[in-house]
Amino acid sequence: MASPPPHYLVTGGAGFIGSHLVEALVARGRRVRVLDDLSTGRRENLAAVAEKVELVVGDIRDLEVCRRACAGVDYVLHHAAKVSVAESVERPIETHEVDALGTLKVLIAARDAGCKRLVYAGSASVYGNCELSPQHEGLAADPLSPYAIAKHVGELYCRAFYGLYGFETVVLRYFNIFGPRQDPGSPYSGVIARFIRQLARDESPAIQGDGEQSRDFVPVANVVEANLLACTSPNAVGQTINVGCGTSTTINQLARMLIETTGSDRVSAHADSRPGDVRHSLADITRARDLLGYEVTVTPEEGLRATVAWYRENAT
C-alpha cells in the first residue's frame, strides 16, 4: 500500500505568502494544515482550498497551540510574523514576541513533534544599509529596525536548533515580495499593492523619500518554488539562502512602470522617508541556484502585469 503524501504545516497560512504556499501544496496533492491567528490573515485567502486544508486558529506565542499544530507534520513552513518595519518601530515589544519568541516556540514544537524540517521565512532587512551590492549571505547582519532584529533572532534560533539538536532548518531570506492578495488597504502593505490601489482610485503614487531607494522585487510564485525546493533539498539543511530575482528597481522606476501598466496619467507624489528603512536592497541568488536549483520562473515585469490584472478583477 502506498504511503500517504507528506503533511505540511504553514504558519501564517491565511496570509499573503502563506496562502499561495497552501494553494501550491494542495495542487501537488499534499496534506496541509494552517496555523493562523487571523490578525492579518484572512479566511477568504484560503477560499479556493478551504475544504482541502485544516485550519487551526491560534497564536504562535502559545506553545501548546504550536504543539497541537505540529503534531503529525512532516514539514513546517514558518511564515507567521509581524511583517512591517513601520509597525515594529511603533510596537517593538509585540514584534519581538511574535517574530522572535514565537519562532522559538514553533521550533520547539516542531522538534518535539519529530517533524523532518522547518523552513523559516527570513528577511533581507537583516542586511541593513549594506554598501556592497548585491547582498550575499556571508555578509554580517546589520539590522536597523525592531522588525529586522527580531527576524535575525529567528534566524539564529534556526541555526542553533540545527547545530544543537540536529533538527533540520533552512532560512530563506526574502527580498521584496509582491503579488495577488497582498492587502493594499493596510498602511503596512507592500509598496506595489499600495501603488496599485492609489492608481485605481485615480490618485498619485505616494513615494516615501526621494524614490531613489531600490529594491529587488520578487513575484510570489518564485517564493513558493523556493519553499518547496527547500523542504527536500539535501544541500539546504542548516543554510541561509537569499530569495530574490537578482534585479534592482528604484521606487521611482516602479511607480513609472505601474503608471504605464495601468494606463494612468498620474505622476508620483513624494512624502517623508520612513524611519528604519534601508536604502538599497539587491539579492545575490547564487546560493539559491547552487543549493536549491532555484531559478526565477516569473520575472518582475511579468509579475507586475499579473498582479495589476488580479487587482482589477478583484477590486472592492
Cβ–Cβ contacts within 10 Å for residue 113, how many?
18
Instruction: Calculate the alpha carbon distances from 153 to 37, 43, 97, 217, 275 in Å.
Output: 22, 29, 11, 24, 21
Q: How far is CA 65 from the centre of its chain?
A: 22
C-alpha cell at 229: 525546493
Do 240 and 208 form a contact (C-beta atoms < 8 A)? no
Helix (H, G, I), strand (E, B) or coil at 309: helix
The answer, yes or no, to whether the previous bond of 134 is cis (omega within 30 of 0) is: yes
C-alpha cell at 297: 520562473
C-alpha atoms less than 13 angstroms from C-alpha of 301 in its C-beta half-sphere: 4
Q: What is the DSSP string of 91-133?
A: -HHHHHIIIIIHHHHHHHHHHHTT-SEEEEEEEGGGG-S-SSS
C-alpha atoms less than 13 angstroms from C-alpha of 244 in its C-beta half-sphere: 28
pLDDT digits (tens, 9 = 90+) for 266-307: 887 777 776 666 678 899 999 999 999 999 999 999 999 999
Average pLDDT value for the chain:
92
Q: How far is CA 205 from the centre of its chain?
A: 23
Interval 13-21 mean pLDDT: 97
Provide CB contacts within 8 A for 79, sequence distance 6+. 10, 11, 12, 13, 15, 17, 18, 21, 121
Do 20 and 224 form a contact (C-beta atoms < 8 A)? yes
- Which single residue is written with the C-alpha cell 502506498? 2
Pairing state of beta strands 217-219 and 53-57?
Answer: unpaired
Question: Which H or E element spans position 63?
Answer: helix 63-70
Going from the N-terminus, what domains does the chain have, and what CATH number goes with each? 7-179+217-246+284-297 (3.40.50.720)
Do 85 and 143 form a contact (C-beta atoms < 8 A)? no
Question: Which H or E element spans position 70?
Answer: helix 63-70
- Which single residue is written with the C-alpha cell 485544516? 54
pLDDT digits (tens, 9 = 90+) for 72-123: 999 999 999 998 888 999 999 999 999 999 999 999 999 999 999 999 999 9
Interval 29-41 mean pLDDT: 96
Provide CB contacts within 8 A for 192, sequence distance 6+. 178, 182, 217, 254, 258, 304, 307
Instruction: Find the largest Cα–Cα distance for the chain.
Output: 63
Q: Is residue 196 over pLDDT 80?
A: yes
Pairing state of beta strands 217-219 and 117-123?
Answer: unpaired
pLDDT digits (tens, 9 = 90+) for 214-261: 889 999 999 999 999 999 999 999 999 999 999 998 988 888 888 888
Question: Which residues are known catalytic residues?
Answer: 147
Question: Which H or E element spans position 196?
Answer: helix 191-200
What integer pLDDT is reported at residue 83 of this predicted model?
A: 86
C-alpha cell at 113: 513533534
The Cα–Cα gap between 184 and 170 comes to 30
Do 224 and 161 form a contact (C-beta atoms < 8 A)? no
